[in-house]
Each structure stands twice: as C-alpha cells, then as structure tokens.
Structure 1
C-alpha cells in the first residue's frame, strides 16, 4: 500500500467513524472465508457494515471523532462493525458471536460512550429503531382505533334494537 492509498484509506475510515453512531470491534482470527462472507451478509441484512482495516490506519482515522475511545481495542486481527442505527451492528455481531466461538467481541463505542463486551451485549438486547417506530405508531393509533369503535358502537346498538323489534313484530 503506497502513501496515497493509505491517505485515502484513512480519509474513508475517518468519514465512517464521523458518521456512524455505533462501532463494534471484534477479533476474527480463525474464521474461514465462508464464515466472513456470512458475517458480512448478516451485517448487511441488519443495516450494518463490516470493515477490516490496518490497526495503525484506523487509529489515525479515529482522531477527532466521537468513537476515538475504541483505539485501545485495535490490537491484533480486528474488524470494525458500524451502523447508523444504534443497535444494528451490536445485534448482528452478538448473534454471529453466539454461533462462532472464534469471533470474539472486544467492545465498542456508542457516540462518546465507550462500551465493553457486556455493554455491547446489553445494547444488542434493545429494540431496533424500526421496532421502536412500530411500537410508537401502535401507541399513537390505539386511541384513534378505540374512538372509532366507540363512535360506531351506538349506531350498532340502535340497529340491533330496531332489528329485535322488527323480529318481534314479525313473530
């Protein structure tokens, strides 16, 4: 890698670190190519991305970003998972780590907050942004649905009473 490629890699990583809200760091030593492809696919489906970068270049790219606290974790064969959704990268990484013992979570960062392994696992248990939006929409729509049912209920009762009197008169 020549000097220009290194500068480009650092600039790209710096942009990624500046834009993402969550970064998860893990060791991937011992994973096969097929397992790495499966990890990348699972991350992509969750809305996250995986990147393997030289540790020294990643440490340079971290300077001046909110997630600079992960610099100490960048030792050995590490990969960086990141997402704009606060829980997507953590959920995908924890799920993959359950199935593959050679994939070892080291920690991460959420904004300026450094996370250890337990913090990443706790973050993975939270509902995703889409799940929260669905719950909020359900809570907002529930009163409107109940109001519509209450508004229709008196008309339905009147129709049943009229129907009962009509059946009684017919008998």
Structure 2
C-alpha cells in the first residue's frame, strides 16, 4: 500500500470519526469475511459504518477529534464501528453479534470523547434506543393535556347530569 492509498484511508476514517457520536473498537480475530458480512449489513441498516483498519492508520486518523482517547488502546487486529445519530443502536448490534459469535468481541469505545470499557458498552446496549425514548417522552407529554381535558369533561358531564335530573324532576 503506497502513501496516497494510506492518506486516503486516513482521511476517510477521520471524516467518519468526526461525524460519529460513538466509535466502538472490536476484535474479529479468526473470523472470515463471509462471517462478518451479516454484521456489516445490520450495522448499515442501522445507519452505522464498520471498517477493518490498521492500528497505525487508525491512530493517525484519531490524532485530533472527539475519539482521540482510543489511540493509546489500539492494539492487535481491530475494526471500528461508527455510530452517528444514536450510539445505543451501534452498541446493541455489536453486543448482539458478540453473543452469537465466540470469535467476535467488543473491546472498548469512545462515546463523544469519553472512554468506555466493554462492560460500559454492554450496559449502553441495554438502554432503550433514541426512538423508544422519544416515544416515551411524547406519551408522557401527551398524558398531561389528555388528563386535563378528561377532568373538565367529567365536570361538564356532572353538570349535565344534574341539569337532566332537575329537568326530569320538574316534568313529573
């Protein structure tokens, strides 16, 4: 690989890393490309990128930017998954794949510049995703006006019942 190709790879990694909210480093030692293809497809569906990289190139790409904390930990064979919008999604896909495949493991990550170890990534993967949290928030926000309207509807309903009873009493 010549210098121009290396520079292109470094620029591509740096661009992805700068946009990513999370960068998760994984170990794939002993896995074949065909075995990693389903993982790549799932990550792509989730809006994430996954790339096998040389440690020296990754260190140069992460030299500046939000994921510089990964530099001192880049050792052995590794691949990096980048999550952009929702960091929980990338963690869920990788942890789920690691449970099904003994040769694959999640090593560590950088979440917006903060170093996470394997246990923290697993804990992150157990959190609800962004869409689920937004749905819960919307449900909570919707409950307040709904209860308010329901309360006043009961007051009006009670008043109508009283007036109907008075009308019925006067008709007799």
Deviation at 1:151, TM superposition (A): 2.5
SS of the aligned residue for 1:52 comes to strand
Q: Residues of 1 paired with 2:92 and 2:133: CA distance?
A: 15
Corresponding residue of 2:30: 30
Deviation at 1:125, TM superposition (A): 1.8
Corresponding residue of 2:142: 141
**Distance 1:167-1:76 versus aligned 2 partners, 3 A rule:** farther
- Structure 1: segments with no counterpart, 5+ residues: none
Deviation at 1:110, TM superposition (A): 0.9
SS of the aligned residue for 1:87 comes to helix
Corresponding residue of 1:87: 88
Whether the aligned pair in 2 keeps the contact of 1:49 and 1:89 (CA below 8 Å) is no
Mapping for residues 20-169 of structure 1, pairs under 5 Å: 20-84=20-84, 85-157=86-158
Deviation at 1:137, TM superposition (A): 1.1
**Distance 1:9-1:162 versus aligned 2 partners, 3 A rule:** same
**Distance 1:160-1:8 versus aligned 2 partners, 3 A rule:** same
Q: Residues of 2 paired with 1:36 and 1:73: CA distance?
A: 23
TM-score by length of 1: 0.86
Q: Residues of 2 paired with 1:34 and 1:152: CA distance?
A: 62
TM-score by length of 2: 0.85
Q: Residues of 1 paired with 2:18 and 2:33: CA distance?
A: 29
Report the aligned-residue RMSD.
2.4
Deviation at 1:155, TM superposition (A): 3.8
Q: Residues of 2 paired with 1:167 and 1:6: CA distance?
A: 90
Deviation at 1:130, TM superposition (A): 1.6
**Distance 1:30-1:145 versus aligned 2 partners, 3 A rule:** same
Q: How many residues are treated as equivalent by the alignment?
A: 171
- Structure 2: segments with no counterpart, 5+ residues: none
